[in-house]
Amino acid sequence: MKIVKPTLILDKQKCLNNIKSMAAKAAANQVIFRPHFKTHQSAEVAEWFREYNVTAITVSSVEMAEYFAAKGWEDITIAFPVNILQMPAINALARRISLNLLVESEVVIKFLNLHLQHNCGVFVKIDTGYHRTGIPVADITFVEHLAQMAEDSPKLHFKGLLVHNGNTYYAASAEEAKKLTLASLGNLANHVPYLLAKYPRMLVSIGDTPGCSIVNDFGIAGEIRPGNFVFYDLMQLELGSCNFGQIALIMVCPVVATHKERNELVIYGGAVHLSKDFLIRQDTMIFGAVVAFHGNGWSNPIQGAYVKSLSQEHGIVKLHPSHFPAFHTGDLIGIVPVHSCLTVSCMKKYYTLDGMIINTF
């Protein structure tokens, strides 16, 4: 494959290893492995999960559920608060597949009671500290009230509690991310037994890749829904969720100019390719790490090199002065994305190292 413009490259073997490893961890914990497909967004990569007996998946929108349902996935949780404006599409899905919805208010359950035409599972969204969505876990009587509303509903079936402990993404270290995850699990362990007494078959479903990667014991959880682990990325590396060898995706970019006076390269590869997500390392914004790309893989990160800024199509790569002479206009270099989910979403397609194209939804 001749690369002449920003091209997203997947190391399939690393991706398969990531899937195998998370599937093994789920099996060892005897929890359901319901991977989130919002990262790879692809029917092709989805097939790679079947070897690990994955049949139940998670998505983040009705549209993504439609895409995977059309590709033969018949047990889908939409881990996003029900958008009541999409009721016709939700009904069409619920007719065909085993669909789980996410609720956090009376108003949505009442709406579903009026408009849902087919049976659906329902999870109550629980907030254990992220404060994005959900009911605070300490409000267990309100959670119980919603659970009972769902149980009393003609079409809904209360499946359990769903948590996305996304505050791990703001952790300063792996140790802190681990503490946040254990705190979230501990919080659930304190309050959930009260509900379990009433709904013994209810599940506790937990989400985020940092938590699922860092802890070995999922405690009270009966299901895990990590997504990003399939590729990992620079943010996960920084958080300590993965090691560098597990990152399965890089953007290969042409060097279009070199600026010796400031040890910088200009690359064709910008915000429309990588997304504008960044991390902060020692007060410096970092939009990607830099690797050497050789057709069948890539090097470790080049020390002292990073993407310092992104415009629409331009990226600026800062180098250590000693490395500058090795780079030339017309070279291809690899950029490790900060956030692989958004990079995939920007690009819409990627290629394996042996040139197979992978299209997304």
Q: Which two tokens stand for residue 306?
A: 């990073």
Least gap, CB of 307 to a copy of itself (angstroms): 13
Residue (57 or 220) nearer to a copy of itself, CB: 57
Residues 6+ apart with CB under 8 A from 307: 267, 274, 286, 287, 288, 289, 290, 315, 316, 317, 318, 335
Least gap, CB of 4 to a copy of itself (angstroms): 4
Least gap, CB of 204 to a copy of itself (angstroms): 20
The enclosing H or E element of 318 equals strand 314-318
Least gap, CB of 141 to a copy of itself (angstroms): 16
Would residue 57 be called left, alpha or beta, if left means φ above 0 and alpha means ψ between -120 and 50 degrees? Answer: beta
Residue (30 or 312) nearer to a copy of itself, CB: 312
Least gap, CB of 26 to a copy of itself (angstroms): 22
Residue (196 or 271) nearer to a copy of itself, CB: 271
Least gap, CB of 194 to a copy of itself (angstroms): 22
Residue (70 or 84) nearer to a copy of itself, CB: 84
**How far is Cα 308 from Cα 306, in angstroms, rounded to an integer?**
6
Residues that bind a copy of itself (CB under 8 A): 3-5, 38, 60-63, 80-86, 89, 104-105, 107-108, 111, 131-133, 166, 254, 256-259, 262, 266, 268, 271-272, 275-277, 309, 311-314, 316, 328-330, 332, 341-342, 345-346
Least gap, CB of 261 to a copy of itself (angstroms): 8
Least gap, CB of 61 to a copy of itself (angstroms): 6
Residue (166 or 219) nearer to a copy of itself, CB: 166
The enclosing H or E element of 274 equals helix 271-274
Residues 6+ apart with CB under 8 A from 286: 234, 278, 279, 280, 306, 307, 308, 338
How, if at all, do strands 249-259 and 264-268 pair? Answer: antiparallel
Residue (292 or 342) nearer to a copy of itself, CB: 342
Residue (104 or 223) nearer to a copy of itself, CB: 104
Least gap, CB of 259 to a copy of itself (angstroms): 8
For residue 29, the 8-state DSSP code is: T
Residue (38 or 178) nearer to a copy of itself, CB: 38
CA quadruple 13, 358, 297, 14: dihedral, nearest 10: -20
End-to-end CA separation in angstroms for the chain: 23
**How far is Cα 248 from Cα 91, in angstroms, rounded to an integer?**
36
Q: Name beta bridge partners: 253.
A: 333
**How far is Cα 113 from Cα 151, in angstroms, rounded to an integer?**
11
Residue 287 near residue 274 (C-beta atoms within 8 A):
yes
Residues 6+ apart with CB under 8 A from 233: 247, 249, 336, 337, 338, 339, 340, 341, 343
φ, ψ for residue 88 (rounded to 5)? -60, -40
Residue (31 or 140) nearer to a copy of itself, CB: 140
